[in-house]
Amino acid sequence: MSTSIHPSLTVALLAALTLGSLGLLSCLRAPKLSQLAIAQSSPAEANLGATSGAISEATSGEISGIDVAQIPDPQAEFEGGELGIDLCVSLPDWQRPSDQVQEKQLQTMSRYGEALADGSLSELTKDWWNHEIFSFTTYGLSARTDPLYLSGIWTAMEDTWNCYAADQPDRMSRGELAEVWLIHHRLVDIQWQDNQYLMTVEPSNMGLQLVQFERQEQLPDLPITLLTTAGQPLAVMSGDW
């Protein structure tokens, strides 16, 4: 016994199958929701997302590549530092006169000749001649003339007057400025540290430097320590009268 299907029912079944196939194909071709969201986002929004991700991955000790531990503490106590200086004389090729030239020069000067003859200046002249580094906290014309001659720096006297051509003498008299002479040494560094001036110098076979710097104290004697670059301490003679 055969079963017949009504023509109208056949058409309905074919239509249903066609629509179902089209729906399934649409679902397979449709982009995922996450892909659609990324495709529709603007470049600025994409960059913002990347930045947010980078920050979230940063460690607690770093922010945007800056190490928080390296930021200086504004409350840290200042214990030392470099001083501003005026290297008012620097003659790298200068040499101290020989003993014979020095003695002859002093003997020809009435200021020293008689005193040298009777021996009244012998100790003083030895002190000046046996030192290579001198410090000053005062100024006076005679108080500079004698040290210049007794130390042997008289051969470079014309080069030194520029150190006193402005307000340097007044500032030294007010206790604002100090001065150091370096014979056969070259200044490397000077700092105010532990309530004293710490000066580092490099020894040489020649050279003359006159260094002026602002004082950080008002003591009667200049608190200064000199060391060579090898750490050897050097004697400093005060030139104040």
% of the chain exceeding 70 in pLDDT:
66
Q: Give CA 163 to chain center in angstroms.
A: 25
Instruction: pLDDT band for 241, please (50, 70, 90 cuts).
Output: confident
Instruction: pLDDT band for 221, please (50, 70, 90 cuts).
Output: very high
| Residue 136 φ/ψ, nearest 5 degrees | -140, 140
Rounded to whole angstroms, what are the CA distances from 144 to 20, 38, 43, 134, 161? 113, 83, 76, 12, 10
Q: What pLDDT is recorded for position 82?
A: 64
Rounded Cα gap, residues 198 and 200, in angstroms: 7
Q: What pLDDT is recorded for position 81?
A: 53
Extents of the domains making up the chain: 7-63, 82-238
pTM over 0.75: no
pLDDT tens sequence across 160-192: 999 999 999 999 999 999 999 999 999 999 999
C-alpha R_g of the chain:
44
When pLDDT is averaged across residues 104-132 and rounded to a whole number, the result is 91
Q: What pLDDT is recorded for position 120?
A: 86
Rounded Cα gap, residues 187 and 208, in angstroms: 10
Rounded Cα gap, residues 57 and 51, in angstroms: 10
Q: Which residue has the higher pLDDT, 57 or 87?
A: 87
